[in-house]
Chain A
């Protein structure tokens, strides 16, 4: 079956770095997405990886290893506004998105 695993909750300190991991099993693979979702709001797109390696976008970076079925989202210089849930989603061979349950990130001062 198809499956996405990511930690339920993580806690980090303002100004620090945090890495949110995601492992996936899908029928075929057409890319890995990360979305951010603040409480009570809609998910918003953060990053997309289809090739192995690191994609950097400001304070946020996303990494993909297709051979390991693994991705991570790296958040640097954490700010209080980064407190949110981070959703990992893999695109399967039918271009359908398989979503993880999300990682709730709590930032402490």
Chain B
């Protein structure tokens, strides 16, 4: 089934450790995004990439980094995890990155991260 694959599904991580959340899409979408979702808050954009080779900062980028070496993969790295990064992380992609408002997102199933 075409779509977005995220791994791991869930993870418990000790504070101070590093972690990479993986995201792969097979729809050949240009744009990819990482969001975090916390109870009582809307989805918040961490980082995005409009096309392979480019990345940008979203609303809450501190403590996170991304890379976009090719069209399909968009990993999110936490260099030194802190408890406030406990959240559900969603990777998403879209066929257009701007210039059109019809920017429908396809989401992955999410990665639940707990930092202790």
A interface residues with partner B (beta carbon < 8 Å): 4, 30-31, 33, 35, 41-45, 48, 50, 87, 89, 91, 94-102
B101 touches A101 (CB 8 A): no
* Cross-chain contact of A41 among B42, B97, B109 (Cβ < 8 A): B109
Q: Given contacts A42-B107, A42-B110, is CB(A91)–CB(B45) below 8 Å?
A: no
Interface string of B84-116 (1 = CB under 8 A from A): 000000100000011111111111111000000
- Complex Cα spacing A42 to B93, Å: 13
CB atoms of B90 and A42 under 8 A apart: yes
Chain B residues with CB under 8 Å of chain A are 40-45, 58, 90, 97-110
The 9 closest A-B pairs by CB, nearest first: A99-B42, A31-B101, A42-B107, A30-B101, A95-B98, A99-B43, A101-B42, A45-B104, A50-B101
Given the interface contacts A42-B107, A43-B90, A43-B107, does A99 sit within 8 Å of B101 by beta carbon?
A: no
Which chain A residues lie closer than 8 Å to B97 at the CB level? 95
Of B43, B98, B107, B110, the residue contacting A44 (CB under 8 A) is B107
- Show 12 A/B contacts (Cβ-Cβ < 8 Å), sorted by A: A31-B101, A31-B102, A33-B104, A43-B43, A43-B90, A44-B107, A87-B43, A91-B103, A94-B98, A95-B100, A97-B45, A97-B105
Give the residues in chain A near B108, CB-CB below 8 Å: 42
Partner of A48 from the list B58, B101, B106 (CB cut-off 8 Å) is B101
Residues in A whose Cβ lies below 8 Å from that of B110: 41-42
Contacts of A91 in B (CB 8 A): 101, 103
Whether B45 pairs with A96 at a CB distance below 8 angstroms is yes
Bound state CA distance, A101 and B90, in angstroms?
15
